[in-house]
Amino acid sequence: MRRDGAHPLLPLLLLLFLALILPSSHAQSGSSRPGTDNYNCAAEKSVYPCRGFTCIANRSVYPCRAYALYRASGGDDLASVSDLFGVSTLSIARASNITDNSTAVLSSGQPLLVPLICSCVDNHSYALVDYQIKGGDTFYILSTTNFQNLTGYQAVELVNPTLVPTNLSIGVITVFPIFCQCPNNTNTLINDNSSTTVSIVSYVFQPSDSYSSIASNFGTTVQSLISLNGAETAVEAFSVILIPVSKFPPPLLLSNSSSPSPSPSPPPPPSSTVVEKRDRTGVIVGLAVGMGLFAILLALVLVLFLGERKKRRREARKRKGDVGWNNKGSGERRFARSGSDVKLMTDISELLDKYKLYQIEELRRATSDFDYSCLIQGTVYKGTIDGEVFAIKKMKWNACEELKILQKVNHTNLVKLEGFCIDPEDGTCYLVYEYVANGSLHSWLHDAAPTRRLDWRSRLRIALDLAHGLQYIHEHTWPRVVHKDIKSSNVLLDSKLHAKIANFGLAKTGINAVTTHIVGTQGYIAPEYLADGLVTTKMDVFAYGVVLLELISGKEAVSEEGEALWVEAEVVFQRTEANVIAWMDPVLREQSCPIDTVVTVLNVAKACLQRDPSKRPTMVDVAYTLSKADEQFSDYSGDGLSVGSEDVSVLAR
């Protein structure tokens, strides 16, 4: 007799369990797709690229601009997506046809194009994204949820060989390789009007997708999809395919600028052949998706609950803060006149516990009502509050971004922010910094009186201090900070001539961002930023190399004739006696200092000024090399080889 005690859902629960523990079990056998690598998937005969797309034969096309199609989750805004991929909000907004504020919440499922830099890494095309591990994270969960299957956990394991996937430490930085590809001569759009591809979009193939619907959504053709990805029947759900796009924004994103984009309408049903190949996995995939959606909805409810509670706390704190900003109690009414000012106050409300909030009357008294006699430089004033001297900076633009970056950093070689002030009359923001007594490095090198000369030991220590400061913001902040305006006038010297980096007004968080708004100072701007708007830590490394040249030569970053110092120095990098001795700062030629240390610093500058950013060293390498040079100088007795010596054959090494 058959037993009736078995629950009818038991087989389904068993299938769900198998789907969870065997994430690639839905792969079906079939012919491999072009340009993919089945590493770690051979046992399942998977047809989707577990390891990613192999690099094309023409390696000269790397690196290139590529895009990934990402769909916003509940509660996402441009800033959160920007932080996830390490690119600027502006670049996502432009590519995605969004004109709204970056803090506006995106519609759930709203499609976004995320611009990436696609490179050839270990013979695979990846856009590398840094991610800091949190509690409960695994490579598989992050690949399938946070990054929405735009990468595979096998590829993550491949590029992080020192990490144990089942034992990830909270806080460790992990690299996630987003699958991408660069176009070559065969990656063309096949239509009547164009045969040239601008960029390739990485897209996660959905169960309801077909080549026909994708071609319509991205303004391409079915034939071009076949040429890049193989036959549609070989493509599995939730695997990455490549879409060539020649016109931005593609049709799928045209509605983003006017209103939040609804979820895309279901595409035409696939052919019966495709249905037959996929119906074997439909139950498993459906159950897995259903449980995943339930978990996401549960998490969304929790996020909305916590967000609402946090919002109420912010509003209460803001109301309390409004009284402090205006002793007459009219601050709230005055700020209500300007929506941007209200937004600024809301954005900085989280900083109230970390920094002192000054009254505008305090700053006016401290600077004699911002009198010219208190002006240090630009819009920075020297002021005394309660007997302590500060540098007070009047902001020319919204200070919110600079404040958010400054609250992340704390290092002895960075100028310390003490507090800020919002003028209730007009909403102007003032930042109050520690006062750095000896002014800028630029003034010591180029405007110095005979009594204010830096010897070689001081210059070497300044170079090392600056390297330590940059190493900190590049390696020990998350998201990583790019200063974007390193120059001698933004390096301040304290009473002991220790260097501190100042002015984070142009700084950006994240890496590999792209902008069309080029800002900076002539003579310090890296070639790749000037040409393509590429923002990476290596642009700071380049500018640092220019500062090293200033320390050695005593010359300005740009000559009166308009020639950049780093271009002029290319002759000096040949390291001949005549070049170096004649090119060095006359103040140093009068001293007795070891030529070995000068050559070491010159070699570091040469490495930092490589035109190819990938060939520049990290600031970790720079700091290590200069620390060795500093030790070498400390051991120097003055009796050995010096700049004034006739024997400078060491330069020809």
Helix, strand or coil, per DSSP, at residue 239: coil
Q: What was the pLDDT predicted at 642?
A: 47
Strand partners, 202: 68, 242
Q: What was the pLDDT predicted at 43?
A: 33
The model's pLDDT over 178-237, given as tens digits with 9 standing for 90+, comes to: 999 998 754 445 444 444 557 899 999 999 999 999 999 999 999 999 999 999 998 988
Q: Where are the domains of the chain?
A: 35-270, 455-485+496-652
* Nearest residue to 109 via CA among 249, 248, 295, 253: 253
Instruction: Determine the Cα–Cα distance for residues 476 and 68; give it in Å rounded to an integer.
Output: 27
Question: At which residue do the structure tokens 């047809």 appear?
Answer: 47
Q: What was the pLDDT predicted at 315?
A: 53
Q: Is residue 358 exposed (0-12), middle (13-18) or buried (19+ Cβ within 10 Å)?
A: buried
SS3 content of the chain, % helix, strand, coil (to 5): 40, 15, 45
Q: What was the pLDDT predicted at 167?
A: 83
CA distances 249 to 65, 93, 195, 536, Å, are 15, 11, 18, 25
* Nearest residue to 26 via CA among 214, 282, 410, 224: 282
The distance of Cα 368 from the centroid of its chain, to the nearest Å, equals 41
Q: What was the pLDDT predicted at 330?
A: 33
Inter-residue contact 557 to 523 (CB < 8 Å):
yes
Backbone angles phi, psi at 390, to 5 degrees: -130, 165
pTM for this predicted structure: 0.50
Q: What was the pLDDT predicted at 375?
A: 94
**19: amino acid identity, one letter:** A
Instruction: Determine the Cα–Cα distance for residues 241 and 237; give it in Å rounded to an integer.
Output: 10
Active site residues: 485
Peptide bond into 49 cis (omega under 30): no
Q: What was the pLDDT predicted at 527?
A: 93
Q: What was the pLDDT predicted at 378?
A: 85
Q: Which two tokens stand for residue 314?
A: 């912010």
Helix, strand or coil, per DSSP, at residue 52: coil
Give the CATH superfamily of 455-485+496-652.
Transferase(Phosphotransferase) domain 1 (1.10.510.10)
The distance of Cα 415 from the centroid of its chain, to the nearest Å, equals 22
Intervals of the chain under pLDDT 50: 1-32, 38-48, 186-188, 190-195, 258-281, 283, 316-343, 346, 637-653
Q: Residues near 26 by Cβ (< 8 Å), separated by ≥ 6?
A: 19, 236, 237, 238, 281, 284, 285
User: Parallel, antiparallel, or unpaired for β 64-71 and 199-204?
Assistant: parallel
* Strand runs labelled E in 457-581: 481-482, 491-493, 499-501, 508-509, 513-514, 534-535
